[in-house]
């Protein structure tokens, strides 16, 4: 299997050649050594130095408990409610800076809901009359109010059902001291977890994450993709213990210990000595120097030495990621993973919620292209409220466009929100998991219906480019036909590789044979470019392979019009483009 170069920071990365090899000693898994070293597999290179924080998934299960001191229990609830409000104030201020007033407003709504007299009095009354613990009273009241809102006819009020659950869980988390499954404290940490689902990663305060280290997962998991988006080192397959012995032979919890993540060699150091810390700080400083040199590429064109130009865009998973897109000087957004709006919600996000998110991104990009991928739920991205049956092979099952064409009201709600937001910027729409011409025709019929509805209602919108993701061998083989129906192709190399090679990309046992450089994959890429151009489409890549700088020149020679990569990779890919000379063989 071939791997990317060190500069690409992709799976299989090694220590950069100009780093002192002497800094990397033998790997150990002996917990009794003075410096505990745990080996894993790197999914993104780099160095992280800081405290370790073990992420414990909390479902806030609550048991009924009789209390003797009712007044004390009321005080516990009041203090927890105030603490929850303070948390929400902090989240509002942070969101205001990152995603704007419209998207931050939800945290103000939650603060007001915590002051609702009916809600508060219901909890206090239950504590007094039933002599139960505050957690139980909050949980029962939250469930009752949530069901009440969910049964209402008004869309806005129905959306409040999820909000009541959220504020109740927040208060319960404070009462239980669990932090609601979030990172506690204000100091950035190296996050250790068994694994992280997409729904969990989107809710993390990413400003507090220095690195991801997980026991499970694969090099193509969403945690790995998130690490590359955030430009932070990440390791998988690290079998870390709950406790360890210090050099002084003291038993100590791993949570809160000092650590170093070497994302080049795939090592986690626990409780390192001063000499090791100094060595890794030197490597980290060298990495920062390289980043500063790349900053000089901002504002430069994505053009080869012989004059070949290409569009270089960025992939995002939410509104907050736009800041990284702009900071790294991407020419647009080539993939907005809209499903994260669904993953971070406890119920179907309504049209207004989606419209606000899409509008914010479009406005912040100030006319630069924003390509929104429609809902791609299913496979490894499950959402409880969709109530989908368990499947033996979800990667090839009920997912993505198949759900949208089956549950059309969900699809139309999203399309309405996207078209409404198009009035505020330059938006294109692409549809995932296409396998047939019939699907494309059905999509276009639904799009026409949505546009007609908006026109009848007097709601302004712009025409959007319509494209499809090429991520199945079926779409590749009929790409000549599909090209006549759409404006562009964007190749999702992650799924295309797994379907072509018959390899589950989430299975860590198969990482060693998951070869995105496989000749079959590369031939398919060339076929899509040729058929797309012949049919009048522009063609891009939005999968992880687009950031593989060992293939940048190959993609240019193939004739790709666009590459969309993690924001952190934009300047690295630009550097490769500007140093390529296609006139040479």
User: Based on the domain organization, do 286 and 313 belong to the same domain?
Assistant: no
The full DSSP string for 138-181 is: HHHHHHHHHHHHHT-S-HHHHHHHHHHHHHHHHHHHHHHT-GGG
- Does residue 304 share a domain with residue 285? no
pLDDT bucket at 304, cuts 50 / 70 / 90: very high
- Tell me how many domains the chain contains: 3
For residue 4, the model assigns a pLDDT of: 35
- pLDDT for res 558: 97
Q: Note whether 235 and 113 are same-domain residues.
A: no
533 is catalytic: no
At residue 22 the predicted structure's pLDDT band, cuts being 50, 70 and 90, is: very low
Q: What is the mean pLDDT of residues 400-409?
A: 93
Q: How far apart are CA 466 and CA 542, in angstroms?
A: 15
Residues 18 and 85 in one domain: no
* Whether the predicted pLDDT of 25 surpasses 80: no
- Please check whether residue 584 lies inside any domain of the structure: no
Whole-number pLDDT of residue 169 = 83
pLDDT tens sequence across 153-165 = 776 677 677 788 8
Tell me, what CATH number does 142's domain have?
1.10.274.10
Query: 91 in a domain, yes or no?
Result: yes
60 within domain boundaries: no
Residues 205-236 have pLDDT tens digits of 778 899 999 988 776 666 777 787 777 899 98
Which of 194-198, 336-340, 512-516 shows the highest mean pLDDT? Answer: 336-340
pLDDT on residue 490: 97
The string of pLDDT tens digits covering residues 169-178 is 889 988 887 6
Residue 260 has what pLDDT?
Answer: 96
Starting at the earlier edge strand, list the strands of the sheet with 267-270: 36-39, 267-270, 258-262, 47-54, 189-193, 209-214, 234-236, 41-44
489 domain-assigned: yes
Mean pLDDT of the chain: 85
**Which is catalytic among the residues 222, 404, 464, 537?**
222
Proportion of the chain above pLDDT 70, given as a percent: 86
Q: Nearest Cα to 193, choosing from 54, 316, 64?
A: 54
Q: Are residues 33 and 163 in the same domain?
A: no
Among candidate residues 243, 274, 294, the one where a domain is terminated: 294
**pLDDT value at 309 more than 60:** yes
Claim to verify: residue 153 and residue 241 sit in the same structural domain:
no
Residue burial 366-398, b: 16+ Cβ < 10 Å; e: rest:
eebbbbbbbbbbbbbbbbeeeebeeeeebbeee
Q: What pLDDT, in 10s, does the model give residues 424-479?
A: 999 999 999 999 999 999 999 999 999 999 999 999 999 999 999 999 999 999 99
Q: Kindly state the helix (H) or strand (E) to which residue 426 belongs, with its residue range.
A: strand 426-431
pLDDT score of 503 = 86
Measured CA angle at 245 (ends 244, 248), to 5 deg: 155
* 9 belongs to the catalytic site: no
Of 129, 161, 181, the residue that ends a domain is 181
Segments forming the whole domain that contains residue 246: 6-55+184-294
Give yes or no: residues 270 and 149 share one domain: no
What pLDDT does 203 receive?
A: 63
- pLDDT the model gives residue 183: 64
The domain that contains 393 carries what CATH number? 3.20.20.60
| Greatest C-alpha distance within the chain | 84
Does the structure show a pLDDT above 80 at 517?
yes
When mean pLDDT is compared across 56-60, 112-116, 291-295, 358-362, the lowest value belongs to: 56-60
């Amino acid at each position: 299997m071939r791997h990317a170069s060190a500069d690409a920071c992709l799976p299989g990365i090694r220590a950069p050649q100009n780093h002192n090899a002497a800094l990397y000693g033998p790997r150990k898994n002996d917990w009794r050594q003075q410096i505990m070293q745990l080996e894993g597999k790197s999914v993104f290179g780099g160095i992280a130095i800081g405290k370790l924080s073990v992420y414990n998934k909390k479902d806030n299960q609550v048991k009924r408990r009789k209390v003797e001191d009712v007044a004390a229990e009321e005080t516990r609830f009041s203090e927890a409610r105030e603490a929850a409000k303070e948390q929400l104030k902090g989240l509002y201020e942070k969101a205001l800076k990152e995603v704007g007033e419209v998207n931050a407003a939800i945290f103000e709504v939650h603060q007001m809901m915590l002051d609702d007299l009916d809600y508060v009095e219901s909890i206090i009354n239950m504590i007094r009359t039933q002599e139960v613990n505050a957690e139980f009273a909050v949980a029962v009241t939250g469930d009752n109010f949530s069901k009440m809102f969910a049964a209402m006819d008004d869309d806005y009020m129905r959306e409040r059902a999820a909000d009541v659950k959220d504020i109740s869980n927040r208060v319960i988390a404070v009462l239980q001291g669990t932090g609601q499954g979030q990172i506690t404290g204000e100091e950035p940490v190296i996050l250790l977890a068994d694994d992280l689902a997409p729904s969990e990663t989107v809710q993390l305060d990413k400003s507090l994450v220095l690195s991801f280290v997980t026991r499970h997962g694969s090099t193509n998991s969403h945690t790995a993709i998130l690490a590359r988006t955030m430009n932070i080192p990440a390791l998988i397959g690290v079998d870390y213990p709950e406790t360890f012995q210090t050099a002084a032979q003291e038993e100590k919890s791993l949570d809160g210990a000092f650590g170093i993540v070497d994302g080049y060699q795939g090592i986690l150091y626990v409780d390192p000595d001063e000499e090791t810390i100094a060595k890794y700080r030197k490597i980290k400083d060298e990495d920062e120097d390289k980043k500063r040199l790349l900053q000089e590429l901002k504002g430069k064109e994505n053009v080869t030495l012989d004059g070949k130009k290409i569009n270089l865009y960025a992939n995002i998973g939410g509104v907050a990621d736009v800041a990284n897109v702009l900071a790294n000087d991407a020419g647009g957004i080539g993939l907005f993973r809209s499903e994260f709006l669904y993953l971070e919600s406890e119920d179907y996000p309504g049209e207004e919620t989606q419209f606000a998110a899409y509008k914010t991104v479009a406005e912040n990009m100030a006319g630069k292209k924003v390509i929104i991928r429609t809902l791609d739920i299913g496979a490894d991205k499950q959402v409880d409220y969709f109530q989908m049956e368990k499947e033996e092979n979800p990667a090839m099952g009920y997912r993505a466009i198949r759900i949208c064409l089956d549950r059309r009201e969900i699809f139309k709600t999203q399309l309405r929100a996207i078209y409404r937001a198009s009035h505020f910027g330059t938006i294109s729409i692409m549809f995932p998991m296409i396998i047939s011409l019939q699907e494309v025709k059905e999509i276009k019929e639904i799009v026409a219906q949505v546009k007609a509805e908006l026109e009848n209602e007097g709601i302004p919108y712009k025409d959007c480019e319509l494209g499809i993701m090429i991520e199945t061998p079926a779409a590749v083989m009929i790409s000549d036909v599909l090209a006549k129906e759409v404006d562009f192709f964007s190749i999702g190399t992650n799924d295309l590789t797994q379907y072509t090679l018959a390899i589950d990309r989430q299975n860590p046992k198969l990482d060693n044979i998951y070869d995105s450089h496989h000749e079959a994959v590369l031939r398919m890429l060339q076929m899509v470019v040729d058929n797309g151009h012949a049919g009048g489409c522009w063609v891009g890549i939005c999968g992880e392979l687009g950031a593989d700088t060992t293939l940048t020149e190959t993609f240019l020679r193939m004739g790709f019009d666009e590459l969309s990569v993690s924001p952190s990779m934009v300047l690295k890919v630009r550097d490769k483009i500007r140093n390529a000379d296609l006139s040479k063989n």
